[in-house]
Amino acid sequence: MNKHSSLRSASDLEAKGLIAPAERIGIEEVARRFSVAITPAMADLIGGPPTEDPLAAQFVPDQRELVFSAEELADPIGDEAFSPVPGIVHRYPDRVLLKPLHVCPVYCRFCFRREMVGPEGENLTNAELETALAYIAGNPAIFEVIVTGGDPFALSPRRIRGIVEALSAVGHVGVIRFHTRVPVVAPERVTTELVESLGSDKAVFVALHTNHVRELTPAAREACTKLVKAGIAMVSQSVLLRGVNDTPEALTALFRALLTLRIKPYYLHHGDLAKGTGHFRTSIAEGQALMRELRGNLTGLGQPTYVLDIPGGHGKVPIGPGYLEKTQEGYVVTDPQGGTHAYRG
Ligand code: SF4
């Protein structure tokens, strides 16, 4: 391991001082079950143990990951059931996921695809990628392609360009969206070559996965700015995580910072029922209370939609707090400060 390489094992973590020697055997057991990787950019930000530091909590393995509850699932969002050909998930008529790889530069401890991602995860072969692209070209209902994985920005710019060019040539595809954590966790990968590989006549979106304002280092901000200046539209996705961002202050700081980078906060995901992630999950009531507080204190542009992926592959739905209650005469509406008002209409 040199200072420029990612941490991938209990001994790497111990050498970097991120776990104590006494924790090593337990962490080795976690690492045998779920992949481990922490990039230098993230390792350098960690300033304490997972129970105290929001960056450590997201990336440093923890023995609580070996505690599984009965409701947790290997495929919590049900990708498998909607996969007509390898690498494609087609859940809604007008959009598909295209998953060319299962590798990520970091392995988040709460990952919803933690049973599928990892360095041993199989990437699509060239023939499988051709088949997946042919599936998209052969389905005129597909308007949007969401390139995900794994992290598609872990691919070489040459391979990204190949995917963008193939999708750009499909007349009925209007939007190409990349889901990535790279601009935050490995900003040095956002090179001019990578940015150029996203060039297309189609609308190209990048959805950035980020959960805490401390992830938005100067290098991460520069990487995002490069993408925005190249005409890429950016939105963000965050996961509501206990001990990471489950306070109004943490969420407000994150969403405001994103807005200043011209990144629209898009989704706040309720924690999925992935195995060994119970210590991260808040209750839905807690999530709704947070969203209610944000509504009164944060500009509307900074409000993401709080969503739940229904287990079993039944899709994603908004689960934010309700502000409208039906009465016999009309409605009672709750304002952002909690006051109630009759509305007849
Ligand atoms: S970057 Fe996304 S897919 Fe990769 S480990 Fe993190 S949550 Fe999972």
Which residues contact ligand 1 via a Cβ below 6 A?
104, 107-108, 111, 113, 117, 150-151, 181, 209
| CATH number for the domain formed by residue range(s) 80-325 | 3.20.20.70
Q: Are 151 and 159 in contact (CB under 8 A)?
A: no
Q: What is the reported pLDDT for 115?
A: 87
Mean pLDDT, rounded, for 10-17:
96
**Closest atom of ligand 1 relative to the 35 alpha carbon:** 5
Which of 238, 237, 263, 189 shows the shortest CA–CA distance to 40?
189
pLDDT in tens, 246-272: 999 999 999 999 999 999 999 999 999
Residue ranges of domains in the chain: 10-49, 80-325
Query: Looking at residue 342, what is its pLDDT?
Result: 96
224 a catalytic residue: no
H-assigned helices in the chain: 10-15, 24-33, 40-43, 54-59, 126-137, 157-168, 182-185, 192-197, 218-229, 248-260, 284-297
Cβ(299)–Cβ(337) below 8 Å:
no
CA of 102 relative to ligand 1 center, distance in Å: 9
pLDDT given at position 1: 59
**309 catalytic residue (yes or no):** yes
* Residue 92 annotated in active site: yes
* Cα(167) to centroid(ligand 1), Å: 23
In the predicted model, what is the mean pLDDT of residues 135-140?
A: 98
What would the mean pLDDT of 265-280 be, rounded to a whole number?
Answer: 96
Residue nearest atom 8 in ligand 1 by C-alpha distance: 111
Which residues touch 191 (CB under 8 Å, ≥6 apart)?
157
Band (163; pLDDT cuts 50, 70, 90): very high
φ and ψ of 222, to 5 deg: -65, -40
Closest-CA residue, ligand 1 atom 6, reads 108
- Confidence tier at 75 by pLDDT (50, 70, 90): confident
Q: How far is the CA of 73 from the centre of ligand 1 (A)?
A: 16
As a whole number, the mean pLDDT across the chain is 95
Nearest to 293 by CA among 255, 259, 260, 258: 255
If pLDDT is split at 50, 70 and 90, which confidence band does 73 have? confident
Average pLDDT over residues 61-89: 91
The token pair that represents 44 in the structure block: 């350098």
Nearest CA to ligand 1 atom 7: 111
Q: What pLDDT sits at residue 81?
A: 84
